Structure 1
Amino acid sequence: MTAKEKDQQIEVTILNAARKVFVQKGYDGARMQEIADEAGINKALLHYYFRNKEKLFLAIFVEALESFIPKIGEILQDNSSLFEKIEKITEVYINMLKLNPYVPMFILHELQNHPEFFIDILQNKGGIRPMKVMEQLQKEVNEGKIRPVDFRQVFVSVISMCIFPFAAKPLLLGMLFNNDEAAWDIFLEERKKFIPQLIKESLKVK
C-alpha cells in the first residue's frame, strides 16, 4: 500500500467513525476523543487529518450534500409533472435526512455565517435551477388546474416540511411518539406521501 493509499484509508476510517458519532450525539454533543476512539486511532492523528470538529463535520456534510443535491437538480429538470416532481423531491429529501439526521442543525448554523457556501453547492455543483418547475407551475395556473400561487412559497413549504421533523426530533420523539423509534420511522415513511398530498390539496382550485 502506498503512502497516499494509506492516507485515504485512514481518512475513510475517520469519516465513517465521525459519521457514527455525529448521528448518535449530534454536532454539539460529539467530541473529537470519541471520534478518535471509534476510529481506533489516537487523538493526535485525528487532528493531523482534521484540525478541529468543524472541519471534520464539514467534510461529512459536503459528502452528504454532494451525493444528494445533484439528484434534486435532475428531478427539477426531468420531464415529470409538477406534482410528480414534488413527490420525488420529498422522498429524496427525507431519505437523505434519515441517513444524515445531523444535517439540518448544521445547515441552520452555517447559513448564518457562510451563505455563499450553500449557494455554490446548490447552483454551481448541484445544478439547482428551478426555472423549469416555475414554468410548469405557471402553465398549470394558466390552464386553471391550480390556483395562482408564488412558486417560492411552494418550494420553501416542501423543504421546510421535510426538514422540521429532523430539526425538532428530540422534542417530537418524546412528546408525540413516547420515544418509540419504530413509530418515528413509520411516521417519516408516511410523511413522504403526506407532504405532496397536502401541497396538492392546497393548490386545488376552489
Structure 2
Amino acid sequence: MTSKRDSEKTIARILETAQKLFFEKGYDNTTMQDIIDYGFSKGSIYHHFKSKKEIFDHIMMGLEGQENQFKYYLELDDKTSLQRLRLLFLNRLNDYSKADLLSGAREMFNDPKIFGELYQMNMTHVLPRIEQFIIEGNTDGSMQCQSPFECAELITYFFSIWIGTMLYDVNISQLKSKIEFYQSLFKGLGVDLLDAELVECIIVYYKRITKVA
C-alpha cells in the first residue's frame, strides 16, 4: 500500500514539474532531461512515462477532467440539455491553464501520428458524450436533431480538433467567418449551440493560444 502511495506521489510530482516547464519554456523546448533535473532519477521518470509525449497526454487528460465534467453537466437538473452543453464548453474554454499549455505545444500537432492519436481519443471519449447531450436535448425539446451521432461528430471536431489545436492561424475576421459558418451549420442541424457568449469565449481562447492581439 505504501509503495503504491509513493508511486502515485512520484507521478503527481513529475506531472506538476512537467506542466510548470511546459508553461515556462513551451512543450517543444522542454526535454526529458529538463524534467529529470528537477530532482528525479532517470529511472524514476522512465519507469512511469516512456516519453515526453506520454507525460503531456497525462497532463492534458487531467486538465480535461473529461469524465467528471461530462457527468456533472449531464446531471444538472435546472437546465435544458442545450443549456448544459453550452455551459460545458464555456467551462472548458475558460480553462486558461489548458490554453496556455496548448499554446506552447502547437508544433507537436503537426506530427501526423500525434494528431491521429488526438483525433482518435476525442472521437472515442468525447463524441459519445456529446451525442448523449443531443439525444437528451431531443427529448426535452431544446434540440431538434435528426442525426445525433453525425452532429456530435461535427461538434467534437469543431471544439476538440479545430479550436483545440489551431493547427493553422487565421486572422480574427477569418475566425469570425468560420464561427458564423459553424453557427449556421449547427443551427440547421437542430442544435443552436453557438450563442453570443460562447462565440466570444471562442475568440478569447483563440487569441490566447495563438498570441494574436
TM range (shorter): 0.5 to 0.7
CA distance in 1, matches of 2:55, 2:144: 43
CA distance in 2, matches of 1:152, 1:21: 40
Q: Which of 177, 186, 189 is 1:150 aligned to? A: 189
Q: CA deviation at 1:167?
A: 5.1
Q: Which of 120, 144, 164 is 1:138 aligned to? A: 144
* Residue equivalent to 1:143: none
Q: Does 1:75 align with 2:73?
A: yes
- Whether contact under 8 Å (1:72, 1:89) holds in the other structure is yes
- Whether contact under 8 Å (1:82, 1:136) holds in the other structure is yes
- CA change 1:69–1:93 in 2 (3 A) is farther
* Residue equivalent to 2:148: none
Classify the secondary structure of the residue corresponding to 1:28.
coil
Q: Does 1:113 align with 2:116?
A: yes
CA distance in 2, matches of 1:166, 1:77: 26
- Whether contact under 8 Å (1:70, 1:127) holds in the other structure is no
- Whether contact under 8 Å (2:49, 2:55) holds in the other structure is yes
- TM-score (norm: length of structure 2): 0.57
* Residue equivalent to 2:87: 88
* Residue equivalent to 2:154: none
Q: Structure 1 vs Structure 2: percent identity of aligned residues?
A: 17
* Residue equivalent to 1:8: 8
* Residue equivalent to 1:195: none
- Whether contact under 8 Å (2:82, 2:142) holds in the other structure is no
CA distance in 1, matches of 2:142, 2:14: 44
AA matched with 2:23: V
* Residue equivalent to 1:169: 208
Number of corresponding residues: 162
- 1:59-93 CA-to-partner distances (Å, cap 9, x unmatched) read 1122222x245324542454414664365224311
* Residue equivalent to 1:54: 53
* Residue equivalent to 1:194: none
- Is the radius of gyration larger for structure 1 or structure 2? 1
- Whether contact under 8 Å (2:36, 2:42) holds in the other structure is yes
CA distance in 1, matches of 2:209, 2:75: 36
- Name the structure with the higher helix share: 1
For structure 2, the 5+ residue unaligned runs are 146-183
- CA change 1:90–1:168 in 2 (3 A) is same
- CA change 1:59–1:72 in 2 (3 A) is same
- TM-score (norm: length of structure 1): 0.58
AA matched with 1:150: L
CA distance in 2, matches of 1:111, 1:47: 20
Q: CA deviation at 1:117?
A: 2.0
* Residue equivalent to 1:188: none
Classify the secondary structure of the residue corresponding to 2:193.
helix
